[in-house]
Amino acid sequence: MLNKFMGLLALSLAFTSFNASAVTPKEPLWPSLKIEHFGDAEIREDATDFLVLETPKRAEDAAIVPITIKSLVPQTADKYIKNLHIIIDNNPEPYSANFTLSPKLGLIDISTRMRVDQYTFVRAIAEMNDGSLHMVSNFVKASGGCSAPAGKDAAAALARLGKMQIRMRSPVIGEAVQAQVIVSHPNYNGLQFDQASRQYIQAHYVKKMTISYNDEPLIHLDAGISVSEDPSLRFTFMPTETGSLKAEVLDSKAQEFSSEKEI
Amino acid sequence: MKPLLTLTGIIAMILLVLFLIANKQVSDNSNKPLAADTDYPIIQTADGVFYHQGIHQDATKDNIGAIGNMSFVVGDTCVAVIDSGGSYLEGVKLRHAVASQTDLPVCYVINTHTHPDHVFGNAAFKADNPQFVGHEKLAAAMQARQTPFERTFKALFEEDYDGIEFITPTLTVSIDTPLTIDLGNRPLTFTAYTTAHTDHDITVHDQKSNTFWTGDLLFMERIPVLDGNLTNWLKIMTQFQQADYDVVIPGHGTASADQWRSGLAKQQHYFETIRDEVREIIADFGTIQQAIEQVGLSEKDNWELFPQYHRRNVTATFTELEWE
């Protein structure tokens, strides 16, 4: 409750220092977002004993806001986070990501980058295999001045569309290792207007990303339009035998890309 | 004591007379109905070349967003305005400044790029019916940013936001194809660049005075902001170093005949430092957060507004260099 209170306090301070009706909607969006995505299910709020959400206090660059979610309790076959939902209340499409997680991942440690262009709560909601829901949330201030969620060089991202990288430090069998998958993609959110054609640029973004090890899925991501240009997913997993880490990507125009790395 | 006071009084009188003569010369030059607003000083850098230097702050209601350099060039037939102001209010002040120097109409309003401090005054020149000049990618960039800029700046400026319009260029400049227009015995050349400070930067060159406007490809004193591509920007900075200009007017900070070279070197050093340190972190599979916390701190005391923009620059650099 303290976090929530501090958040509300920050929100009300924001209201007094600016006439911020244009910056933050007057009615908190969360109650309706909660019903939209979780119905009347009970969500345990401020589940900081279980989940850690790392976000910058201020979105330094509205187009690239690093977000990290960690679990404090390892995944086990009996009790594990089945899905991790990311909601950014005040984004044009708040429901931003849904990670489906394997019970074999151990401790969850996932990072990605999102567009955050105005004052907002960012929420991570863990849905357990028993159906219970646990939420942590942070308040992120908007960046100032000339920062905007538009990509810096959409032409360059489009030119290398689908190019992928799988990066990691030298892995050791039986030890947890961090890996990162990046795919070059402009991730057009469909909100950008093209002056020449007098039409909105059709949304074109990464919709799905599946990470598997030896064909067994570790993480599956259903992504929305909040994900930054050149989507990046950094995660921890434990290779228990030699094999192949594979990343498969599907975008909103049904284009498929994939990349593999032998361990 | 009395003689001393009298002496002080005489000196004061002399200074006052000198001041009035100096002012009269400026107003004789112009002899125009609209004087420049006293809170909006302009500096003449060459015959027919004037600029207002913005202050090194973030845009606020109090400073009406007048944080960048706004210039105008007077030819025999008309005037070109280079960047229009950070608000409609600043645009109006800039228009008054033009009128304080000449009756000629404004025929070109050049937007060096679409950041608010350079384009939000556009609407103040609509009555002149000028050509609005920008990079071939300016319109797309402006449209992509319109919604967030509107939201941010309406909250910031409140009622002073009124009058701001997003006016896209009527005359565009293509990459690798410089465009020259004429203000009457005064050709101006516009050059468009590949993605650097933004993906739609243009520069302006006045042949008559050999003055060069860098737009935000050069920041003096104030920390530069990366909203484009660092690698390309560094290449462009190297080109600038090899050029020979009598005066350089940067996007922010002091215009100069010679200091601009050291300013450019300082900006190159800043970005090379960030680039090298970010590269090391990426090579070691470090995270973007690590980079934000560690990179470029040696540059902290070299720049105005470092805390406001440095972390952002590191973030942008990191995501760019991942694709090297």
The ipTM (two decimal places) reads 0.87
- Answer whether residue B84 shows pLDDT above 60: yes
In a domain, B120, yes or no: yes
Q: Do the Cβ atoms of A125 and A43 come closer than 8 Å? A: yes
Domain harbouring B115, CATH code: 3.60.15.10
Give the residue from chain A lying closest to B168, CA to CA. A195
What average pLDDT does this structure show over B304-317?
96
Domain that holds residue B257: 37-321
pLDDT tens-digit profile, chain A (263 residues): 344 444 444 433 333 333 333 445 556 899 999 999 999 999 999 999 999 999 999 998 999 999 999 999 999 999 999 999 999 999 999 999 999 999 999 999 999 999 998 899 999 999 999 999 999 999 999 887 788 888 788 788 788 999 999 999 889 999 999 999 999 999 988 776 666 676 777 889 999 999 999 999 999 999 999 999 999 999 999 999 999 999 999 999 999 999 999 99
Asked if A192 reaches chain B (Cβ–Cβ under 8 Å), the answer is yes
CB-nearest partner of A153 from B143, B195, B308: B195
Q: Do the Cβ atoms of B107 and B91 come closer than 8 Å? A: no
Number of compact structural domains in chain B: 1
In a domain, B21, yes or no: no
- Answer whether residue B30 shows pLDDT above 90: no
Cβ separation A193–B143 shorter than 8 A: yes
Strands A43-44 and A81-88: unpaired
Give the residue from chain A lying closest to B150, CA to CA. A22
CB-nearest partner of B152 from A111, A142, A192: A142
> Residue B173: pLDDT band by 50, 70, 90 thresholds?
very high
Asked if A19 reaches chain B (Cβ–Cβ under 8 Å), the answer is yes
Cα dihedral A249, A252, A255, A259 in deg (nearest 10): -10
Q: Check residue B283 and give its pLDDT.
A: 96
| DSSP assignment of B265-309 | HHHHHHHHHHHHHHHHHHHTT--HHHHHHHTTGGGGGGSBTHHHH
Cβ separation A230–B323 shorter than 8 A: yes
Edge to edge, the sheet with strand A120-128 lists: A43-44, A133-140, A120-128, A81-88, A95-101, A216-223, A206-213, A244-251, A256-262
Report pLDDT digits (tens) over B88-132. Answer: 999 999 999 999 999 999 999 999 999 999 999 999 999 999 999
Cα dihedral B277, B279, B283, B287 in deg (nearest 10): 70
Q: Measured between alpha carbons, how far is B198 from B115 in angstroms, rounded to an integer?
A: 9
CB-nearest partner of B316 from A61, A68, A154: A61
Q: Measured between alpha carbons, how far is B288 from B178 in angstroms, rounded to an integer?
A: 38
Q: Do the Cβ atoms of B203 and B189 come closer than 8 Å? A: no
Closest by alpha carbon to A136, among A254, A242, A9, A1? A1
In a domain, B210, yes or no: yes
In a domain, B19, yes or no: no
In a domain, B63, yes or no: yes
Which of A56-60, A142-146, B56-60, B211-215 has the weakest average pLDDT?
Answer: A142-146
Mutate which of B63, B151, B312 to test chain A, going by most A C-beta atoms within 10 A? B312
| Cα distances (Å, whole numbers) of residue B268 to A191, B63, B305 | 35, 29, 17
Q: Measured between alpha carbons, how far is A105 from A220 in angstroms, rounded to an integer?
A: 12
Q: Do the Cβ atoms of B285 and A168 come closer than 8 Å? A: yes
Cβ separation B199–A155 shorter than 8 A: yes
pTM of the model: 0.88
What average pLDDT does this structure show over B22-46?
61
Q: Measured between alpha carbons, how far is B155 from B91 in angstroms, rounded to an integer?
A: 19
What average pLDDT does this structure show over B4-8?
50
Produce one character per residue of B145-184: b if its CB has 16 or more CB atoms within 10 Å, e if not.
bbbbbebbbbbbbeebbebbebbbbeebbebeeeeebebe
Q: Do the Cβ atoms of B79 and B105 come closer than 8 Å? A: yes
Give the residue from chain B lying closest to A235, CA to CA. B287
**Which residues of A fall within a CB distance of 8 Å from B143?**
192-195
Q: Measured between alpha carbons, how far is B194 from B4 in angstroms, rounded to an integer?
A: 65
Q: Check residue A25 and give its pLDDT.
A: 54
Strands A43-44 and A133-140: parallel
Q: Measured between alpha carbons, how far is A118 from A141 in angstroms, rounded to an integer?
A: 7
Cβ separation A148–B140 shorter than 8 A: no
| DSSP assignment of B144-207 | HHHHHHHHHHHHHHGGGGTT------SEEEBBTB-EEEESSS-EEEEEE-SSSSSSS-EEEEET
Cβ separation A66–B145 shorter than 8 A: no
Give me chain B's average pLDDT, please.
91
Q: Measured between alpha carbons, how far is B240 from B251 in angstroms, rounded to an integer?
A: 14
Shortest alpha-carbon distance between residue A227 and chain B (Å): 14
- Look up residue A58 and give its DSSP letter: B
Q: Measured between alpha carbons, how far is B145 from B116 in angstroms, rounded to an integer?
A: 10
Report pLDDT digits (tens) over B247-284. Answer: 999 999 999 999 999 999 999 999 999 999 999 999 99
Give the residue from chain A lying closest to B228, CA to CA. A152
* Sign of the alpha-carbon dihedral angle for A195, A196, A197, A198: positive
What average pLDDT does this structure show over B14-34?
40
Q: How many CB atoms lie within 10 A of CB B291?
A: 24
Question: How many interchain CB pairs under 8 A, A with B?
Answer: 122
Cβ separation B312–A191 shorter than 8 A: no
Cβ separation A148–B151 shorter than 8 A: no
Note which residues in 70-129 of chain A have CB less than 8 A from chain B. Answer: 111, 113, 117-118
In a domain, B27, yes or no: no
Cβ separation B315–A64 shorter than 8 A: yes
